[in-house]
Chain A
Amino acid sequence: MNNIEDLIRDALNHQATQAPPASSVHTRQATRQRRWLVPTAIAATMAAAAVVLYSVNHAPAGGVTVGTSEAPVDWSPTWMLPGFTEHNRSTAVDGSYAFTSWFAGPVDARDSQWVRLNTYPRTKEPCDDSMDGAERVTVAGNPGVWFASSPSLSLCWSTPTGQFSLSSYNVLAGRSEFIRIAESLRSAPRNPLHVPLTATFPVSDHPGVPLLAGIKGDTPDAPTMYLTSTDTPDGIYSVGICTTKPADPLGTPVPTRNTTGWWTRDEHNFEKLTVPVDTRWLVVTYLPTGGHRDPHTEALAQLANTVVAGPTPATPWIGGRP
């Protein structure tokens, strides 16, 4: 390497590897963010049946293996806005938060309408009311903050068992409807979230690896269970097990898992490797977070090789309403 432009590229890419971990900013941001985003808090009389059942193990090869079994706290509303059905249940692998989302209409549309319930069982701070326009409210006797900034709305409330928030986008509703949803929350030790999926991500060794596990779908008979890693050196990797064949074009053949996968990349350098697995489909994706434009075909194939998937659980809650 003797071209000065190549030397500069090499030096800058090396410099980028010295960046602080994302968790350093997340941590400092989290308190403030959650204070106003998360209004919650149902009565302290509700049991906090939080059991974190996910595990993260550092793999010998340097990656991190994520394994899941069951879900943490499960709070569920007993009332929801008309027209909204449940689409996604997810949890951070470290147990720091979980969320459930409801959509009205198309999920992938640019103007999609959604409501999301976030729970932060470890967060004990009160909600932040310092935002311009923030209003203090009471939710089931607990202090909360309502904040409307069209098209986003949020209600945060804090309880002895943690913080909660309801956030929304493009939703025509008001404070009273959000408080009604919040006050309808009940601890729901019903069907725990079960994501029998493991994978070894090419992540760094930062503590508190920000990994997300969940199940999503439009209908109960077509769920996708997934794991997402956001703490990788160069982008975000996800693995998903779909029960229906993806509609995307199949793309370039890539050998993996003793079979042929199909790789595509769109104009935003979003890469996808689709692999048939028994009667289901494994979809491994990569989204670059910096100026990375080199194909990650090999990394996706390697990640696909590490995926172990159990039976997709029944998800009668998808598409349902309280």
Chain B
Amino acid sequence: MTFEDFLARQLDGLLRYATTLTCDPHQAQDIVQEVVLRAQQRWSRISRTDQPAAYVTRMVTNEFLSWRRRRSTRELPLNPADLTDYETDQTGRVDDRTVLLASIATLPRKQRAAVVGRYYLNRTDDEIATELGCTAATVRSHISRAIATLRTRLDSPRQVTL
């Protein structure tokens, strides 16, 4: 498979994955752009791996994790308290999806990556652990804490009521 073929098949999915990780399409584009350039340079080696797509997806994950560290001053994750401009349902309450997205954006990066791995990519805890370089128990801990946080936010609509 050529690099061009790979891009044709996978780029869309990489962008969607990066968007769920970053909660920011612009940052997702920057991250995928960086990864694509590096993957191109290493393509002869990547293409020989069993799963080039999984390899590049992991590059996106790593880029997301390090990107936040390098550029934390640039990143402005949505805060549920800043949702005054977001769409609301007919009763004036911020809908669950909007609250969740804003809340996911404030999760610690590894919790966010673990949540995306389980609920967007449908990966097992072991697969997520490999991706994040930790144990499956740690993955479960990340997800458990994340869900607890998200549930609290969902149960506290006053924080996001217009």
Question: How many residues of chain B have a CB within 8 Å of chain A?
Answer: 48
Residues of B within 8 A of A7 (CB): 96-97, 100, 154
Given contacts A118-B4, A290-B120, 18 further A-B contacts (CB under 8 A): A5-B119, A12-B115, A16-B17, A19-B15, A19-B16, A20-B25, A20-B26, A22-B11, A25-B15, A25-B29, A26-B7, A29-B40, A32-B37, A33-B40, A149-B43, A230-B11, A236-B12, A291-B122
Contact B8 A230 (CB under 8 A): yes
Which of A16, A24, A169 meets B120, CB within 8 Å?
A: A16
Question: How many residues of chain A have a CB within 8 Å of chain B?
Answer: 50
Residues of A within 8 A of B96 (CB): 7, 11
Q: List 26 A-B contacts (CB under 8 A).
A: A4-B147, A7-B154, A8-B115, A8-B147, A11-B100, A12-B104, A12-B115, A15-B23, A15-B101, A25-B11, A25-B36, A26-B11, A29-B40, A33-B40, A118-B4, A152-B47, A230-B9, A230-B12, A232-B12, A233-B12, A287-B9, A289-B11, A289-B12, A289-B14, A290-B16, A293-B122
Contact B119 A9 (CB under 8 A): yes
Q: Check: A190 CB closer than 8 A to any chain B CB.
A: no
Which of A25, A212, A235 meets B33, CB within 8 Å?
A: A25
CB within 8 Å of B: which residues of A?
4-5, 7-22, 24-26, 28-29, 32-33, 37, 116, 118, 131, 149-152, 167, 169, 210, 212, 228, 230-233, 235-236, 287-291, 293
Contact A19 B40 (CB under 8 A): no
Bound-state Cα–Cα, A15 to B116, Å: 11
